Amino acid sequence: MNIFSALLWVIVIVATILQYVLGYFNKKILGAIFPIVFTFFLIILFFKGKDPNFFQSVVVFIIGNIWLIGYFISGNNKRKKKIEKEMNIMKAKDISRKK
């Protein structure tokens, strides 16, 4: 594995973790940055490539954006479930105090 491949994997892992965290904290504008940067990066690679394969580029574009957006949504859903659980606990305490 050369240095470029290792660096690329580190970037992918960090971007995935950041997408999850940004989704958890509901930062929609910041969460849109990685998919946009990823799209521009793929466009640049496609047009600068010596032998670009359109089908492969489209597949990587679709899978990559689904991956990034999916982790954002996953973090967002985790936050919503936590808030809902806390609300249920608060409602239960309210009901027990009224009796």
Q: How far apart are CA 3 and CA 23, in angstroms?
A: 30
Element counts in the chain: helices (H) and strands (E): 4, 0
pTM of the model: 0.83
Residue type for position 1? M
Domain range for 30: 3-98
- What lies within 8 Å, CB to CB, of 16 at 6+ separation is 67, 68, 71
Res 99: pLDDT: 60
Q: What is the count of structural domains for the chain?
A: 1
pLDDT digits (tens, 9 = 90+) for 24-34: 999 999 999 99
List the structure tokens of 51: 């032998």
Q: Is residue 97 predicted with pLDDT exceeding 80?
A: no
What is the spatial distance between Cα 78 and Cα 2, in angstroms, rounded to a whole number?
A: 36
Q: Give the pLDDT confidence of 8-55 residue by residue, as tens digits.
A: 888 889 999 999 999 999 999 999 999 999 999 888 888 887 667 888
